[in-house]
Amino acid sequence: MRADRLVATLLLMQARGRVTAAELAEELEVSNATARRDLEALSAAGVPVYPQPGRGGGWSLVGGARTDLSGLTSAEAQALFLIAGPAASVAPQVKSALRKLVRALPQTFRAEAEAAADATVIDTAAWGEDTRDRPVIATTLQQAVVKQVRVRLTYQKRGEAPKGREVDPWGLVDKDGTWYFIAGTSEGQRTFRLDRILGVSLTGTPATRPDGFELAGAWDEVVTAVEAKRSATSATVLVPTRFLDVFQHQHGRHCTVVGVRGEHTEVELTAPRPLDIARNVAGWGGLITVESPELEEHLARIGAELVSRYPRAAPAERAES
């Protein structure tokens, strides 16, 4: 994981004072090109590392070797923790490294560095949606979380007109490329999709956050509630094992492997209604086998509708084409 390597790179430079890309590559078991990209990423993020060209050169921390990170500015510390923080939600070793780094920071920087580390979590399980690029406004919202200032949003729910509201920023979630914003409102905790936020600005007004709030735990509660609504019905489907990865990626959390039957893998699909499952798998045609009488009825009806709308050409017509 890249964020894990970035933290390890910084700790290694702190211990040695100067490293070459080749030394770093050997230590972290990556290629020289990957090591150079990681060093350049730290520098681009504002962490004070710089290259020394020529014989005996390498990469060094500004100020040389030292036993703490007191040379970091507040902005540089935030940049580092914004890079590494999300990885801590899926890699315990990163969380441990971040705790050590926090203790090495000057006291005045620790609060914002910890807030930066906790500003975002990663959830790698998709909800059956295509991966998207990181939204531009994610940076503004992360800043609001770190600075703990209220945010003014213009938000548009599906099928409704845009509305403006002020919220307390609590954190962001990257769910396999689809981003969500967890915030406090007058109605309690709410979740906003970033692709439905039309505008965002920081108000400068101090925000509030519940004592003991943990973003990862709050997101788990959101996922549990959503999954309960989306998994009201289930069906058994046989998928050719060679296509299993594609099928799982398409259906995300709603696809659970049950076992293997010859050249096929048995999976359980869940959705709010049988019709939703039928619509989701209809495109696979004869490649899959559905073992659910109710689902078979829906698939037969979908197939009949398609044949009625798109009747196949007669043999003579196909021969002429």
pLDDT at 289 (0 to 100)? 94
Same domain, 9 and 106: yes
pLDDT at 111 (0 to 100)? 65
- What is the chain's mean pLDDT, rounded? 78
From residue 186, how far is each of 24, 165, 167 by CA, in Å?
50, 10, 8
Answer yes or no: pTM beyond 0.85: no
Task: Give the integer Cα–Cα distance in Å for 187 and 282.
Answer: 40
pLDDT at 321 (0 to 100)? 45
**19-57 pLDDT, tens digit each:** 888 888 887 778 888 888 888 877 776 677 778 776 667
Task: Give the integer Cα–Cα distance in Å for 119 and 249.
Answer: 27
Same domain, 36 and 55: yes
Length of the chain: 321
Does residue 316 lie within any of the structural domains? no
Residue 291 has pLDDT above 60, yes or no: yes
The count of structural domains within the chain is 3
Give the domain CATH number at 90: 1.10.10.10
* HEC secondary structure over 227-291: HHHHCCEEEEEEEEHHHHHHHHHHHHHHEEEEEEECCEEEEEEEECCHHHHHHHHHHHHHHCEEE
pLDDT at 67 (0 to 100)? 37
pLDDT at 65 (0 to 100)? 36
Does residue 35 lie within any of the structural domains? yes
Residue ending a domain, among 213, 246, 268, is 213
**Residue 251: closest CA among 263, 264, 239:** 239
**85-96 pLDDT, tens digit each:** 555 554 555 555
Task: Give the integer Cα–Cα distance in Å for 175 and 182.
Answer: 13
Does residue 221 lie within any of the structural domains? no
Residue ending a domain, among 94, 117, 140, is 117
**Residue 83: closest CA among 21, 12, 4:** 4
pLDDT at 19 (0 to 100)? 84
Give the domain CATH number at 247: 3.30.70
**143-177 pLDDT, tens digit each:** 888 888 999 999 998 889 999 999 999 988 888 77
pLDDT at 267 (0 to 100)? 96
Give the domain CATH number at 189: 2.30.30.520
Share of the chain above pLDDT 90, in %: 30
Domain boundaries, position 25 = 2-117
pLDDT at 66 (0 to 100)? 44
